[in-house]
Amino acid sequence: DVKSEWKDYDKTFTQSNGDGITDKDHTKDGVNMFYNLVTDIYEWGWGPSFHFAPMLKGKGALESSIAHETRIPDTLGLKPGTVALDVGCGIGGPLITIASHSGAKVIGVTINSYQVERCRTRAIKAGLRPMEDFDVLQGNFLDLKFDDDSFDNVYAIEATCHSPDLEKAYSEIYRVLKPGGKFVNYEWVSTAVYDPRNADHVRCIDKINYANALPEMRKYSDIASVARKVGFKVLEERDLAQNSTAGDWWGILKTRKKKYKVNDIMIKVLSFLRILPKNTKDVHKMLYGVLETFIEGGELGIFSPMYMVVLEK
């Protein structure tokens, strides 16, 4: 139930001093609880694609989000006849875009059973054919239930940041990828500007981690290092937030502040009336509260949710 899951989540992901959480073994269950708590709120308040995107000049949020997603199949060279794995597919926003855009079959994996059903329902409604154009499975990307060399390409969008062991996650992705196949990932990272001796920087990253079920925040330099360690060749790495021709990824949070404030009031009222479970208001308070922290992290330049790596097996 929401009350017990909220208490467990709060206990698991509370962190301070930039040290991450203490019980990393509980991360898998904690992330699953997180998405039990937030999936409907995210879909209602944000949309089907649970990620940020650089805001393109003269374009809206939806167009910018789709451009951010289609960069992946274009980089991978996805096309009809190829099969890609979506690691941490959520409710299928990017999966639907990428399968539709490329013509490739996309298989999604998510830790959360509710998200499996939402993804399947949304994909079918969008016109994708089950088993032919897509599939979606419940699973843990630290222990993928696929044979070695199963996929032509793999991608992940703001998902492996939830892993308590990035090396293990990348090792599993390497294992299921065919030789010569590519893996594109958008990671959450602290940037070169982040200073672990700066109390404001540490507080900001700790709050982002807490409100988003991250066991810790990786440094930007960790990503390629881990990839090479498990055997990948690093073809490209760059922070897509550092794009002078696009707007700030956190700009959408500024423009939607009033909307999210109204949403927060609505959630409080519905929780008070017991139309929603009582602790739903606490979950939404956490999500609403971190908006300013995301903006702060973006404006300080210490956090990026879109550090891209292009890797090859």
Q: What is the pLDDT of residues 36-89, one digit of tens each?
A: 999 999 999 999 999 999 999 999 999 999 999 999 999 999 999 999 999 999
* pLDDT score at 46: 94
Strand bridging mode 233-239 / 303-312: antiparallel
- The whole-number average pLDDT for the span 166-182 is 98
Are 54 and 246 spatial neighbours (Cβ–Cβ below 8 Å)?
Answer: yes
Among 191, 203, 201, smallest CA distance to 289 is for 203
Over residues 4-16, the pLDDT tens digits come to 999 999 999 999 8
* pLDDT reading at 293 higher than 90: yes
- Give me the phi and psi of 83, to 5 degrees please: -125, 130
* 266-285: average pLDDT: 92
Residue 29 has pLDDT above 80, yes or no: yes
Q: What is the mean pLDDT of residues 202-221?
A: 97
Read off the amino acid at residue 273: L
With CA atoms as reference, report the closest residue to 201 among 299, 99, 283: 299
- Amino acid letter, 258: K
Written as six digits, the tokens of 115 are 């998200």
- The answer on pLDDT for 244 being more than 80 is no
pLDDT over 90 at 243, yes or no: no
Stated pTM of the model: 0.96
Buried b or exposed e, range 97-135, using 16+ CB within 10 angstroms: bbbbebebbbbbbbbbeebbebbbebbeebebeeeebbb
Residue type, 294: F
